[in-house]
Structure 1
Amino acid sequence: MSASPDVTATAKPLSAHRSNGRGRATTAGAKRARGTTADRAVRKWPYINRELSWLEYAGRVLFEAGDDRNPILERINFLTIFASMLDEFFQIRIAGLRQQVHAGRATTSPDGRSSAEQLAAARERVLELVAEHSAIWADIRRALAGADIGIVKYASIPDHHAALRQRFIDEIYPVLTPLAVDPGHPFPYISTLSLSIAVGLRDPETGESGFARVKVPQILPRLFEVEPHRFVLLDQIIEANLDLLFSGMEILEHHLFRVTRNADLAIEEDEADDLLMAIEEELRRRRFGEAVRLEVERSMPVATREILLHGLGLGDDDAYEIRGMLDLTGLRQIADLDRPDLKSKPWTPVTPARLAPPDEDDPADVFAAIRTNDLLVHHPYESFVASIERFIAQAVDDPEVLTIKMTLYRTSGDSPIVQNLIRAAERGKQVVVLVEIKARFDEEANIVWARKLEQAGAHVVYGLVGLKTHSKVCLVVRREGSGLRRYVHIGTGNYNPKTARLYTDLGLLSCRPELGADVTDLFNVLTGLSRQKTFRRLLVAPHSLRSRFLELVDREIAHAAVGHQARIVVKLNALVDQPSIDALYRASQGGVRVDVIARAACSLLPGVKGVSDNIAVRSTVGEFLEHSRIWGFANGGETEWYIGSADLMDRNLDRRVEAMVPVEDGDARARIGEIIETMLEDDRRSWALGPDASWQRVEVINGHPGTSDVHEVLRQRAIASTATATTPHRPRAGVGSLDPRA
Structure 2
Amino acid sequence: MSWLSFNDRVLAEARDPRNPLLERLKYAAICGSNLDEFFMVRVAGIHQQIAAGVQTPSLDGLLPREVLSLVRQQTHEMLGEVEKTVQDIAALLAAEGVRLERVEDLDSATRAHIRDHYLTEIQPVLTPLIVDPTHPFPYISNLSLNLAVLLSGGKRGEDVFARVKVPVGVLPRVLSIGGHLLLLEDVIASHLGDLFKGRKVKAAYLFRVTRNTDYDFEEDEAEDLLTTVEDGLRRRRFGSPVRLEVLSTMPPDVLAFLSERMKISDDDVFCLEGPLGTADFMGIPVERPDLAFAPYKPAFHALDDDESTIFAALGERDVLLHHPYDSFEHVLNFLEQAARDPNVLAIKQTLYRTGDDPRLLSALRTAAEAGKQVVAFIELKARFDEQRNISWARKLERAGAHVVYGMAGLKTHAKVTLVVRREEGGLRRYVHIGTGNYNPKTARLYTDLSLLSGNQELGQDATELFNHLTGYASAEYQHLLVAPHSARKGFLALLERESEHARAGREAWMIGKCNQLTDPALIEALYKASQAGVKIRLVVRGVCCLRPGVPGLSENIEVRSLLGRFLEHARVFAFGNGGEPEVFFGSADWMSRNLDRRVEVIAPVLYERFRARFLEIMETELADQRGSWNLRPDGVYEKLAGEFSAQQTFAEQRR
Q: Could you state the TM-score of these two structures normalised by the residue count of structure 1?
A: 0.86
Q: CA deviation at 1:380?
A: 0.3
**8 Å contact from structure 2 (residues 357, 440) kept in 1:** no
- What per-residue deviation string (whole Å, max 9, x for no partner) do you get for residues 393-439 of structure 1? 12112211111100010112133112101101111111111011111
Residue deviations 1:65-88 (CA, integer Å, cap 9, x gap)? 111110111111111111111111
Structure 2 portions without partners, runs of 5+: none
Q: 1:13 — aligned with what?
A: none
Contact 2:307 2:337 in 1 (8 A): no
1:371 aligns with 2:315: yes
Residue 517 (1) aligns with residue 464 (2): no
1:168-202: CA deviation from partner (whole Å, max 9, x where unpaired): 22222222222222333222101111100111222
Equivalent in 27, 37, 44 of residue 95 of structure 1: 44
Q: Which of 133, 136, 148 is the equivalent residue of 1:183?
A: 133
Question: Corresponding residue for 1:25?
Answer: none
Alignment match, 1:342: 291
Distance 1:438 1:419 in 2: 22
Separation in 2 of the partners of 1:485 and 1:164? 64
Highest relative contact order (Cα 8 Å, sep 6+), 1 or 2? 1
Partner of 2:424: 481
Give the match for residue 674 of structure 1: 616
1:381 paired with 2:325, answer yes
CA distance in 2, matches of 1:311, 1:365: 64
SS in structure 1 of the partner of residue 477 of structure 2: coil
Tell me how far apart the structure 2 counterparts of residues 68 and 649 of structure 1 sit (CA, whole Å).
34
Residue 175 of structure 2 is aligned to residue 224 of structure 1: yes
CA distance in 2, matches of 1:453, 1:205: 58
Aligned residue in 2 for 1:253: 203
Task: State, as a whole percentage, how many aligned pairs show the same letter.
Answer: 50
Given the two structures, how large is their TM-score scaled by the length of structure 2? 0.97
Partners of 1:374 and 1:668 within 8 A in 2: no
Superposed CA deviations along residues 663-700 of structure 1, whole A, max 9, x for unmatched, are 0111111110000000011111111100111111111x
Counterpart of 1:287 in structure 2 is 237
Q: Is the 8 A contact 1:373 1:665 kept in 2?
A: no
Specify which of 377, 387, 394 is matched with residue 451 of structure 1.
394
Report the Cα distance in structure 2 between the residues aligned to 1:657 and 1:415, rounded to whole angstroms.
26
Structure 1 window deviating more from structure 2 (248-257 vs 457-466): it is 248-257
Query: What's the C-alpha RMSD, in Å, of the aligned pairs?
Result: 1.4
Specify the SS of the correspondent of 1:405.
strand
557, 562, 582: which one aligns with 1:640: 582
CA distance in 2, matches of 1:409, 1:318: 33
Asked if 1:413 corresponds to 2:356, the answer is yes
Q: Which residue of 1 aligns with 2:447?
A: 504
Aligned to 2:536: 594
Contact 1:471 1:659 in 2 (8 A): yes
Selected match of 2:76 from 109, 124, 127: 127
Distance, in Å, in 1 between the alignment partners of 2:572 and 2:283 is 36
Task: Give the AA of the match of 1:258.
Answer: R
Task: Evaluate the alpha carbon distance shift between residue 403 and residue 356 of structure 1 in structure 2; reply closer, same or farther with a 3 A threshold.
Answer: closer
Distance in 1 (CA, whole Å) between partners of 2:39 and 2:300 is 40
- Read off the aligned partner of 1:622 and give its amino acid letter: G
Residue in structure 2 matched with residue 441 of structure 1 by the alignment: 384
2:56 aligned residue: 107
Change (3 A) 1:261 1:67: same
Q: What is the CA distance between 1:205 and its match in structure 2?
A: 8.0
- Contact 2:501/2:507 (CA < 8 Å) preserved in 1? yes
What are the Cα deviations for residues 537-575 of structure 1, in whole angstroms up to 9, with x where unaligned? 100000100011011001101100010000011100000
Tell me the equivalent position of 2:596. 654
* Distance change (3 Å), C-alpha of 1:717 and 1:274: same
In structure 2, what is the Cα distance between the partners aligned to 1:568 and 1:514?
A: 26
The residue aligned with 1:168 is: 118
Which of 474, 477, 481 does residue 535 from structure 1 map onto? 477
TM alignment of 1:597-608, pairs within 5 A? 597-608=539-550
Alignment correspondent of 1:320: 270
Alignment partner of 1:58 is 2:7: yes
Q: What is the DSSP-based 3-state SS (H/G/I as helix, E as strand, rest coil) of the residue aligned with 1:186?
A: coil
Task: Tell me if the contact between 1:468 and 1:656 (Cα under 8 Å) persists in the aligned partners.
Answer: yes
* Deviation readout 1:627-663 (Å, 9 max, x if unpaired): 0000010010110000000000111000000000000
In 1, Cα distance between equivalents of 2:250 and 2:632: 41
Given that 1:415 and 1:497 are in contact with CA atoms closer than 8 Å, whether structure 2 keeps it comes out as no
TM-superposed deviation, 1:329: 2.1
User: Is the 1:538–1:660 Cα contact (8 Å) retained in structure 2?
Assistant: yes
Aligned match of 2:636 in 694, 705, 711?
694
Deviation at 1:279, TM superposition (A): 0.7
**How far apart are residue 251 of structure 1 and its match?**
2.6
The residue number in structure 1 matching 2:492 is 550
CA distance in 1, matches of 2:412, 2:283: 34
SS in structure 1 of the partner of residue 133 of structure 2: coil
8 A contact 2:357–2:439 mirrored in 1: no
Contact 1:641 1:669 in 2 (8 A): yes
For residues 77-92 of structure 1, what are the structure 2 equivalents within 5 Å? 77-92=26-41
Greater Cα offset, 129-138 or 648-657? 129-138
Name the aligned partner's letter for residue 488 of structure 1: V
- How far has the Cα of 1:204 moved from its partner? 7.3
Q: Match of 1:332?
A: 282
Q: CA deviation at 1:206?
A: 4.8
Name whichever of 643-652 and 127-136 sits farther off.
Answer: 127-136
Contact 1:203 1:248 in 2 (8 A): no
- The secondary structure found in structure 1 opposite 2:654 is helix
**Residue 709 (str. 1) matches residue 652 (str. 2):** no
The 1:364–1:300 alpha-carbon spacing in structure 2 relative to 1, beyond 3 Å, is: farther
Deviations, residues 204-238 of structure 1 (Å, cap 9, x unaligned): 7851322121111131221222343x311111121
Distance (whole Å) between structure 2 residues aligned to residue 375 and residue 498 of structure 1: 21
Q: Deviations over 1:246-285 (max 9, x none)?
A: 3333333211000011112312101111000111111111
The aligned residue for residue 138 of structure 1 is: 87
Q: Could you say which residue in structure 2 is the equivalent of 1:422?
A: 365
In structure 1, what is the Cα distance between the partners aligned to 2:612 and 2:158? 77
Query: Aligned partners of 1:455, 1:663: CA distance in 2, in Å?
Result: 38
Change (3 A) 1:142 1:171: same
Correspondence for 2:553? 611
SS at structure 2 position matched to 1:711: helix
Match of 1:628 among 563, 566, 570: 570
Please name the residue that 1:492 is paired with: 435
Q: Tell me the distance in 2 between the aligned counterparts of 1:163 and 1:122.
A: 46
1:572 to 514, 539, 544: 514
1:48 matched residue in structure 2: none
Deviation at 1:132, TM superposition (A): 1.2
C-alpha distance in 2, partners of 1:473/1:56? 32
Cα shift at 1:356: 6.8
Q: Specify the SS of the correspondent of 1:259.
A: strand
What is the alpha-carbon distance in structure 2 between the residues aligned to residue 204 and residue 469 of structure 1? 56
Query: Residue 478 of structure 1: CA displacement?
Result: 0.8
Compare 155-164 and 676-685 and name the one that shifted more: 155-164
Partner residue of 2:413?
470
Q: Which amino acid aligns with 2:370?
A: R
CA–CA separation in structure 2 for the residues paired with 1:107 and 1:548: 31
Q: Deviations over 1:376-406 (max 9, x none)?
A: 1110000110x21111112112211111100
Aligned 8 A contact 1:688 1:697 in 2: yes
Report which stretch shifted further, 324-333 or 337-346.
324-333
Amino acid at match of 1:236: D
633-642 or 196-205: bigger deviation: 196-205
* The 10-residue stretch of structure 1 (452-461 or 129-138) with the greater mean CA deviation from structure 2: 129-138
User: d(CA) in 1 for partners of 2:524 and 2:112?
Assistant: 67
Counterpart secondary structure, 1:299: coil
1:396 paired with 2:339, answer yes
Shift of 1:338: 2.0
**Counterpart of 2:547 in 1: which secondary structure?**
coil
